[in-house]
Every structure is written in C-alpha cells, then in structure tokens.
Amino acid sequence: MAVSVIESSLTPFPRELALEKSTLLLPSSAESKPSYSRSPSFGSNDESSGIDYLPGYPTVGLQTPDVHGFMRRELNTLIIDELHNMLWLFCIKSGRNVDPLHRLRIKGREIIPTEEAKLHLVWTRDRIYIKTLPIYLLNHTVWDSFLGHETQDPPNASTTKHSDSAGSGFNRGVALGFLRSYSILIQSPLDFSLAKEAHLIPEDADVDWIRWAKFIAHFRGIQDGQVSPRYKYGQIRLNRLNWMLRITQPRSSRSTWYYQRNTWSVGAMITSSFPILLFAFASLSLVLSSMQVALTVAPENLAFSGVDARGVEHLQRGFFVFSITTVACAALTWMYLVFVPVTIFLVHICWALKNKGVANSNSRIKRSAIYEFQAVNV
C-alpha cells in the first residue's frame, strides 16, 4: 500500500528535478522492523502504479533497515574513514580536490568505472577509478524517506569494523559527499558525454545535459562539514593509501598490505619493478667501476691531501665491504625474480591439490552487497 510522504526540508533537490521518477510503494511504517521473510514482488512487470523495491535493485525491499543496510554496503568507505585523520599528510584536505572528467583525459588517465565505493576517486599514474552513480540516488522519494534525517549513523560507525550490521542506520553525509563529487566531475556537456561513454550514469535514467545540470547544481554548494569523513578529501593516490594501510593497519581492512592491488599476476608485478631494478643496477655498476679505478691509483698520486698508505688500506677495506654488500643485494634481487614466482607457483599447486573438488566458501561474489541481499530475500 502506498502512503503519502511529507516533503523534507533536508532533501537537497526539489521533486520536479528528480532524474528517476518511479513511484515507491512504501510500507505503512517507515521505521518498521526488518522482515527477512518478505521478498519484493517479481511476478509483475507493470510498474505504472509504482514499485516495491529500491530503484534499480529489485532484490532490495523498501523496509528502512533493508535500504540502509544496502546503502552501507554499497556506499560506505570504512577504511578511508578510519584513516581520514592522517590523510592530510599525503593529500590535500579538500573535498573539492577533484578534476572534471575532461581534465582527467588531459592528464592521460583512463576512467575506470567500478561498483566499489572504496575505489571512488582513487588514482594511479594512468588511471582513475570512479564509482558508477546508483540510480536510486536520483529518486526524490528515496532521499525524502530514507535520507531525510541530519544524521543516521551511530557514534563511531565509520571506525567500527562491524558497523554495517542490521539496524545501524546510514549516514546521509556519505550520499551527499558522493553526489557532490559528481557535481565536480561533470561540469560541462563534454564531461557529461565522457560520463555516458564510461557508463558512470545509469543507462536506465532518461537524462540529458540540461536536466543533469539542473539536478546536480543542488549538490555543488554542499560544504565539507555536511559530508562523511571520506568526502572531506577528493582524489587520493593509490600507492599512498597502500603505504598508509601497511603502516597503520586499520581495523576495517581485510588486508595488511594492500588497499587495492595494482597488479594481479607475478609477471606483471616483476615487470613493474624492472625500471627501478635497472636504475639501481646501473647506479651500483657506476659506483663499483669508480671504486675499481680509485684502487688502481698509487697512494702518492691520489688527489687527496693527507692520505697515506694506512688511509688507503682503510679505503680498500670500505670498498671491499661495499662490493660484498652489492653482491648480496644482487643475490636478493635474483631471489625476487626467480625464487618468489616459483614459490608462489608451488603454493598455488599445493593448495589446488589439497582442495581438489572442494567448493570455496570464501568466494569473492559473497562479498558484494547485491549477493548478500539476494541471499537474504530468496
């Protein structure tokens, strides 16, 4: 049964500018308890009278706990929220430190669409990850009914590993900050065309540049005090996040080494290390050659005053120690290039033989928000 909704002064845009206009058949009580035995209806394709699920996600019902739980899984960035007090050491503390899409192309960065909120506005040398825009954030009723309160997160939710448990609520500052980032990413018709080309804007949304510009303008004036900790920063470099994670070991992270891996194979990892290794070997070769030349010069012909035979002996001893250290470094490098890949290969083979025919209960698909809600509602 549909119920009337009271217009909320906290809804950031007027109803007539909504880009997703589905009528939501809300339950009789917006604060009703979660009903996991209830599933959204799948039998009818007639949506003229309204829909009983979150726009774009037919497996997510309109119970408040269900919607907030899904939004937490889809939009929260727990690790960066936990690290935000130290991020100023590595990046500019401004939520407006975001380049428009055309500027990213000028800088030679490929736009990679992603469904992972933690990667939104995270960049490397030649690419930047941008989370696609969920269509439900373009619906006025969603904002009015589920994002209409000033704060809906419990204290310290952003730093609690299990803050996405049922009943925790959802911080509307996350959604505000996310859409504010889009107001900076897409500022011109060219940016809009690039966003459509990169599949950042939902294809189901009937939107052109004029409608988009009128809608997103209401998010451009949002200040840093209104958004979640993550969106008080803009673009963040991935390798700096990786190093921060290794040093601080945030509780929200499942990994102790990577925020997000750059390479997914041993070969690619070694290939990316070649420039550094070549530069190191070239530098050491030059140093060792210079040492060899210095040792062949007679002590009396050295250009250093006060260097006697005893001084030359100390110099030779120092050069010898440095040479042995260089040989040890070369041996470690060969271990990295040969021993590590072989070890990883053998570990994989042993794991495959040990778990032959056994299903992997830790499959990545079970970590996605959509999978979790499908499992609950089926």
Q: Which of 4, 7, 149, 123 is nearest to 64 (CA)?
A: 149
Confidence at residue 368, expressed as pLDDT on a 0 to 100 scale = 44
Confidence at residue 260, expressed as pLDDT on a 0 to 100 scale = 83
Count other C-beta atoms under 10 Å from residue 324's C-beta.
Answer: 10
Q: Which of 261, 12, 250, 234 is nearest to 130 (CA)?
A: 234
* 233 vs 303, higher pLDDT: 233
Strands (E), 55-186: 57-61, 110-114, 122-123, 127-131
Confidence at residue 162, expressed as pLDDT on a 0 to 100 scale = 42
Domain ranges of the chain: 15-262, 276-366
Largest CA distance in the chain: 102
Contact yes or no for 24/62 (Cβ under 8 A): yes
Computed over every residue of the chain, the mean pLDDT equals: 77
Confidence at residue 19, expressed as pLDDT on a 0 to 100 scale = 92
pLDDT over 50 (residue 327): yes
Residue type, 53: Y
Alpha-carbon span 168 to 153, nearest angstrom:
6
**pTM reported for the whole predicted model:** 0.70
Contact yes or no for 228/174 (Cβ under 8 A): yes
Confidence at residue 27, expressed as pLDDT on a 0 to 100 scale = 84
Give percent of the chain above pLDDT 90: 38
Q: List pLDDT tens digits, range 65-110.
A: 999 999 999 999 999 999 888 888 888 888 899 999 999 999 999 9
**φ and ψ at residue 82, rounded to 5 degrees:** -75, -30
> Sign of dihedral through CA atoms 150, 176, 88, 74?
positive
How is residue 125 written in tokens? 């040398």
Q: HSE of 18 in the Cβ direction (CA atoms, 13 Å)?
A: 19
Confidence at residue 160, expressed as pLDDT on a 0 to 100 scale = 44
Alpha-carbon span 182 to 192, nearest angstrom:
10
pLDDT band (50, 70, 90) for residue 183: very high
Q: What would the DSSP string read from start to end of 111-131?
A: EEEES-GGGTTEE-SSEEEEE
Q: Which of 150, 204, 168, 212 is nearest to 76 (CA)?
A: 168
How is residue 176 written in tokens? 């505000």
How is residue 242 written in tokens? 């990786």
Count how many residues are written for the chain.
Answer: 378
Alpha-carbon span 100 to 185, nearest angstrom:
4
Q: Taking the chain, what is the end-to-end CA distance rounded to the nearest angstrom?
A: 22
* Long-range Cβ contacts of 370-376 (<8 Å, 24+ apart): 370/57, 370/59, 372/73, 373/57, 373/59, 373/60, 373/66, 373/69, 373/70, 374/59, 376/36
How is residue 93 written in tokens? 């503390």
pLDDT band (50, 70, 90) for residue 6: very low
pLDDT over 60 (residue 31): no
Strand, helix or coil for residue 174 = helix
pLDDT band (50, 70, 90) for residue 276: confident
* 258 vs 357, higher pLDDT: 258
